[in-house]
Structure 1
Amino acid sequence: MSQLFSPVRVGRYTLPNRLVMAPMTRSRALLDGTPGDLAAEYYAQRASVGLIVTEGTQPSDDGQGYLTTPGIYTDAHVAGWKKITSAVHEKGGHIFIQLMHAGRMSHPDNTPHHRQGVAPSAIAPGTGMFTAKGMQDIPAPRALSTEEVRQTVAEFRFAARRAIEAGADGVEIHGANAYLIHQFLAPNANTRTDEYGGSIENRARFAIEVAAAIAEEIGADRTAIRLSPGMTLWGIDEGTEGPDLYRYLVAELDKLGLAYLHIMHQGNEPLLTDIGHLWKQPFTLNRPGRPREQIGADVESGLADLEAYGQMVLANPDFVARLKADAPMTEANRNSFFGGDAQGYTDYPTFRETASA
């Protein structure tokens, strides 16, 4: 595990260790998308990890899916995020804002303009979503026109610039977990007949254009992307071409010289090995549910440069110190994951506080 605590160069930054706080939706923003008052404390508490990747943050009104998630496209959003980035930097941390466009994973009751979601094609995900009125079925989205796809790329670019204005060290593009970019990759969610649908190259085009636009806007060394090969969440099916699509996509993204690639691993080890060979920049690996005794194994083997953890960092703000001291980990309270107040957000104790109680 000692390699985990060694410095690593990621883009234009030297991180003090190889541990990453994975992005986790917490649904505690204000209704206008401005981060909530406790968010600065929440992220600053966890600033000892090498890199914080924030909760998914919408780049536009159309990009919002869930209730009370933050945005990064208005002046109020920027002001709210400045408080967070300043608090993290004061603790010596680094923070990338994750840009997440929910696409069809949206409900009109949750968005500022109350319109139906947008997606590659007018195909509903076949699942429900929590709203202020309770659980409701997600309606079929509206298919984006070719020009609107290009406009959405521009919205990602604008949001990235606003993230840097807010003091973020960079942005991570959310290309995973059944959201908009992932919807373009999956043939059962993308039945388009223009240049963004059909072939592997066409279905990968949107992801590549978003990454290229952001890299041009803020620098490739401040731009990263997260992918989840094989993910079948919320009706997504990548089909038999899925592995080849990711081999093509990763090879094309690698040409951009991005800060890092973040893979949420779904169990296809041969594909993971191929991705590791194709990607020449820093590689971050997230294995959801990985037991504590395996922390550090991917860095030790050379498969990954960094390892990302979610719930363990959420429930243990002193995650790095606990690993170094071999101290027990607090279990996350699932009932407080989404929405609410300080409970299950900023009130998790350090192990020293627990020991002295």
Structure 2
Amino acid sequence: MRLLQFRRPEGGRAVGIVESATRVRVLAGCDTTHSLATRAIGHDVPVARLARELAGAEFVDYEALVESQAVLVPMDHPDPAHLLVSASGLTHLGSERTREQLRRALEADEAKLSDSLRLFKLGLDTGRAEDGQPGAPPEWHFKGTGHSLVHPWQDFPVAGFATDASEEPELAGIYLIGADRMPHRVGFALANELSDHAMERRNSGWASRAKLLASSFGPELLLGELPSHIEGLSRITRKGRRRWEKPFFTGERNMAHSIPNIEFHHFKHDQFLVPGDVHVHYFGTATVSFAEGIKVDAACTFEISAPPFGRPLVNGLRRVDPAFSFGGVRAA
């Protein structure tokens, strides 16, 4: 089952079950995915089961929602400050060619390995939770709160100080913290973790700062089990013409770290167990256009797709001035 969250013409919100590429069945008495998941967790029933029970007689046209830019990220929070966006990196094995390059690099003298390759090797060796015991922690970075999210079919705002702003096609886990402080995985979605790769390449110590750009996920929320092997497509178009495209591989068969291991090392931190909070965590990627010398600009559009997730995630770019001209911190 896949869910879609959208805005109604009069300004209200709604959630629906995606029945086809053109038809969405609206849930009755439930206007947000957050409220749906909260009710399901409170009644100790699966979210998919409650969604089926609330499926009503109203249908909406999916294409009309897209054209009117009414589609929202498939789960958010009434207070964006209570939605935390984070990510793990160095988690994916990549294509066969990439794996062979990594194998040769890892066979070199370990003293010559970069910090990133050391961390990747640690994930390969011990990155899976087994027999109830966690494996090695993955790389982790913070993206922002719900204020940093961009809805599907809308543009990423890119500040003038960014030296690059290009895609990272990823898988996202979406979580809600229950009243008992237990994390509940609501579902999975496609994601685009926009990053400043030029800054990251200049100095690996700036990697976490390079991640502080906007991101998007969706448009649909996949409930239930995740396939172990997912082959998607990351595409960039410019003024309607294909600029670049490449398959990407995700799912646990294509990952050095298992998803339970990534989840353990995120939610072991007490500050991430606040009841009612939403967490969106990106699981990483091994495919980015920047690595192949592709330069993007405001005329480019990103499209990330994979069969289990329904429609592709589409976002554009727009350069923006900073919210204010920073001249220092003012004493209050």
TM range (shorter): under 0.3
**TM-score calculated relative to the size of structure 2:** 0.27
Higher helix share: 1
**TM-score calculated relative to the size of structure 1:** 0.25
Higher strand share: 2
Higher relative contact order, chain-length normalized (CA < 8 Å, sep 6+)? 2
